[in-house]
Amino acid sequence: MKITIIGTGYVGLVTGACLAELGNDVFCLDVDQSKVDILNSGGIPIHEPGLEDVVARNRAAGRLHFSTDVAASVAHGEVQFIAVGTPPDEDGSADLQYVLAAARNIGRYMTGFKVVVDKSTVPVGTADKVSAAIAEELSKRGLKDAAFSVVSNPEFLKEGAAVEDFMRPDRIVIGHDRTPEGLQAYAQMKKLYAPFNRNHERTFWMDVRSAEFTKYAANAMLATRISFMNELANLADKVGADIEAVRHGIGSDPRIGHSFLYAGCGYGGSCFPKDVQALERTARGYDQELLILRAVEEVNNQQKHVLGKKVVARFGEDLSGKHFAVWGLAFKPNTDDMREASSRVLIGELVRRGASVAVYDPVAMTEAARVLKLDFADAPVLLDRVSFAESPMQALEQADALAIVTEWKAFRSPDFDRLKAALKNPVIFDGRNLFEPQVMAASGIEYHGIGRSILTRG
Ligand code: UDX
């Protein structure tokens, strides 16, 4: 099938590359010439395991093309995926300007019937706005009856596992309407996704608004679990319970399940923070306050300070003259994505209290340097207190303590003797509960996890 993907960001690139892998003929369109140049020279602009190979293989096979040519790209695809960014507006609602610009481009250049797929995470009701934008452009061209149908097909890709998630989805959600065009779109989407449904049907067909809502509901539910566990972990620290034991104890109930119950130093990334806010904002537009989600967001904002608070409780409010190692900068492992990463809050807090930090991340160093510059735009001199180490061990040298923010595999089994020897004080603040508190105590390391203080009390 001939496919056009508008937007070669994270979602668009994975979708385009994976659909080409299935044998489709894919055109990826982006306004950013430098991104298209990177892609056309065999590189990829993001870090995502396995993606570079899929892109290279399909480019070589002539099934995957990258271009800035709007007219040619729109003319190409029978199915047009809109996969552009929906950054939060000042008030937290999703900014639809790029989605609607893509829609207008489709209306401006389309020829023949087009299935238009909203792949970006967009608020309930956006498909109607996309339809209206396309129709408006068509009428400017005097093409009142040109046929198209907008469907919603939200993505459920996890960064760091996106290729795998796309190729082996646990579910595919597609919302379409029941007009003749909507049914034609249904037939085409069914054909496109047929390879995933061979053994059993994984597609949930529904109306457009329910599909749009499903994406937000899923992310809001997952974010809620995390904030709830974080709140319980903070209480566990006080009452003297071990949150890891509690996690096992509740996760074994199949109604609760084990996934997404890990307490830590807060969730980040491009989806949870933004989608939680956007859903709250949508509800407010209908005079409804989503009280639980408001709390989920508030708890998460506070949780990003949990490591900073533990450092202050141990070393005092004034950290001048202190030096800390920070392991892990990306919002989660296997990505270089720094959006809403907890590391930014911790580094800001340490440095603004007078400390210096040596940071290390296996892949996010360049991106971290870029975003930290923005974070310290109000006081650029503070950035001089941040140094970028070449290895985890180098970051530890002469540090008063180590703080772990991202659970990269490379941090899971360090040489604790070397670690102790490198640090000035053998103190670890672990924002992801990587180590066993008793083992740490036995090795002579002062260990501060999240919700596990019972195991390190004397
Ligand atoms: C998420 C959804 O999982 C995905 O389905 C959706 O399409 C996009 O948003 P992603 O943002 O890539 O994916 O990361 P995810 O693995 O879900 O983790 C999000 C954040 O939650 C990370 O900061 C992670 O550290 C944190 N997290 C996750 C926890 O703190 N505890 C957990 O138990 C799980």
Among candidate residues 146, 173, 206, the one where a domain is terminated: 206
Name the nearest CA neighbour of 1 among 29, 20, 28. Answer: 20
Express each pLDDT in 121-135 by its tens digit. Answer: 999 999 999 999 999
Per-residue pLDDT at 88: 83
Ligand 1 pocket: which of 271, 339, 344 to mutate (most atoms within 8 A of CB): 271
- What distance in angstroms lies between residue 100's CA and the mean position of ligand 1's atoms? 27
List the residue whose alpha carbon is closest to atom 13 of ligand 1. Answer: 158
User: Given the CA of residue 340, which atom of ligand 1 is nearest to it?
Assistant: 23
Ligand 1 binding pocket includes 437 (Cβ within 6 Å):
no
Domain span including residue 185 = 2-206
Amino acid type, 135: A
pLDDT at 145 over 80: no
Ligand 1 binding pocket includes 332 (Cβ within 6 Å):
yes
3-state secondary structure the chain: CEEEEECCCHHHHHHHHHHHHCCCEEEEECCCHHHHHHHHCCCCCCCCCCHHHHHHHHHHCCCEEEECCHHHHHHHCCEEEECCCCCECCCCCECCHHHHHHHHHHHHHCCCCEEEEECCCCCCCHHHHHHHHHHHHHHHCCCCCCCEEEEECCCCCCCCCHHHHHHCCCCEEEECCCCHHHHHHHHHHHHHCHHHHCCCCCEEEECHHHHHHHHHHHHHHHHHHHHHHHHHHHHHHHHCCCHHHHHHHHHCCCCCCCCCCCCCCCCCCCCHHHHHHHHHHHHHHCCCCCHHHHHHHHHHHHHCCHHHHHHHHHHCCCCCCCEEEEECCCCCCCCCCCCCCHHHHHHHHHHHCCCEEEEECCCCHHHHHHHHHHHCCCCHHHHHHEEECCCHHHHHCCCCEEEECCCCHHHCCCCHHHHHHHCCCCEEEECCCCCCHHHHHHCCCEEECCCCHHHCCC
Considering the domain architecture, whether residues 266 and 343 belong to the same structural domain is answered as yes
pLDDT at 320 over 90: yes
For 302-331, give one letter per residue: b (16+ CB within 10 A) or e: ebbbbbbebbbeebeeebeebbbbbbbbbb
Task: Please state the rounded mean pLDDT for residues 258-267.
Answer: 97
Handedness of CA 205, 206, 209, 211 (dihedral sign): negative
Is 345 part of a structural domain of the chain? yes
Considering the domain architecture, whether residues 322 and 399 belong to the same structural domain is answered as yes
Is 213 part of a structural domain of the chain? no
Confidence of residue 197 (pLDDT cuts 50, 70, 90): very high
Express each pLDDT in 395-450 by its tens digit. Answer: 999 999 999 999 999 999 999 999 999 999 999 999 999 999 999 999 999 999 99
Is 219 part of a structural domain of the chain? no
Among candidate residues 145, 177, 206, the one where a domain is terminated: 206
Is 47 part of a structural domain of the chain? yes
Considering the domain architecture, whether residues 265 and 400 belong to the same structural domain is answered as yes
Q: Which two tokens stand for residue 40?
A: 């056309």
Per-residue pLDDT at 92: 80
Confidence of residue 144 (pLDDT cuts 50, 70, 90): confident
Considering the domain architecture, whether residues 46 and 175 belong to the same structural domain is answered as yes
Ligand 1 binding pocket includes 431 (Cβ within 6 Å):
no
Q: Write down the mean pLDDT value for the chain.
A: 96
Considering the domain architecture, whether residues 24 and 132 belong to the same structural domain is answered as yes
- What distance in angstroms lies between residue 71's CA and the mean position of ligand 1's atoms? 36
Express each pLDDT in 74-90 by its tens digit. Answer: 999 999 999 999 988 88
pLDDT at 70 over 90: yes
Ligand 1 binding pocket includes 10 (Cβ within 6 Å):
no
Considering the domain architecture, whether residues 240 and 189 belong to the same structural domain is answered as no
Is 402 part of a structural domain of the chain? yes
User: Is 271 an active-site residue?
Assistant: yes
CA angle 11, 14, 18 (to 5 degrees): 140
List the residue whose alpha carbon is closest to atom 26 of ligand 1. Answer: 267
Considering the domain architecture, whether residues 174 and 240 belong to the same structural domain is answered as no
Express each pLDDT in 379-400 by its tens digit. Answer: 999 999 999 999 999 999 999 9
Is 33 part of a structural domain of the chain? yes
Is 117 part of a structural domain of the chain? yes
pLDDT at 313 over 80: yes
CA angle 67, 72, 75 (to 5 degrees): 130
Considering the domain architecture, whether residues 91 and 35 belong to the same structural domain is answered as yes
Ligand 1 binding pocket includes 351 (Cβ within 6 Å):
no
pLDDT at 21 over 80: yes
List the residue whose alpha carbon is closest to atom 14 of ligand 1. Answer: 158
* Residue 399: CATH number of its domain: 3.40.50.720
Indicate the number of domains in the chain. 2
Considering the domain architecture, whether residues 186 and 248 belong to the same structural domain is answered as no
ipTM of this model? Answer: 0.93
CA 350 to chain centre: 25
pLDDT at 458 over 80: no
pLDDT at 361 over 60: yes
Considering the domain architecture, whether residues 435 and 377 belong to the same structural domain is answered as yes
Q: Using CB atoms within 10 A of its CB, is residue 412 exposed (0-12), middle (13-18) or buried (19+)?
A: exposed
Q: Which two tokens stand for residue 59?
A: 């480019």
Is 118 part of a structural domain of the chain? yes
List the residue whose alpha carbon is closest to atom 24 of ligand 1. Answer: 267
Considering the domain architecture, whether residues 115 and 53 belong to the same structural domain is answered as yes
Among candidate residues 143, 177, 206, the one where a domain is terminated: 206
User: Given the CA of residue 268, which atom of ligand 1 is nearest to it?
Assistant: 23
Per-residue pLDDT at 193: 97
Which residue in the list 18, 28, 265, 271 is annotated as catalytic?
271
List the residue whose alpha carbon is closest to atom 34 of ligand 1. Answer: 260
* Predicted TM-score of the model (pTM): 0.93
Considering the domain architecture, whether residues 243 and 189 belong to the same structural domain is answered as no
Rounded to 10°, the helix 97-109/126-140 angle is: 40
List the residue whose alpha carbon is closest to atom 9 of ligand 1. Answer: 271
Confidence of residue 457 (pLDDT cuts 50, 70, 90): low
Per-residue pLDDT at 82: 98
User: Given the CA of residue 160, which atom of ligand 1 is nearest to it?
Assistant: 12
pLDDT at 454 over 90: no
Ligand 1 binding pocket includes 331 (Cβ within 6 Å):
yes
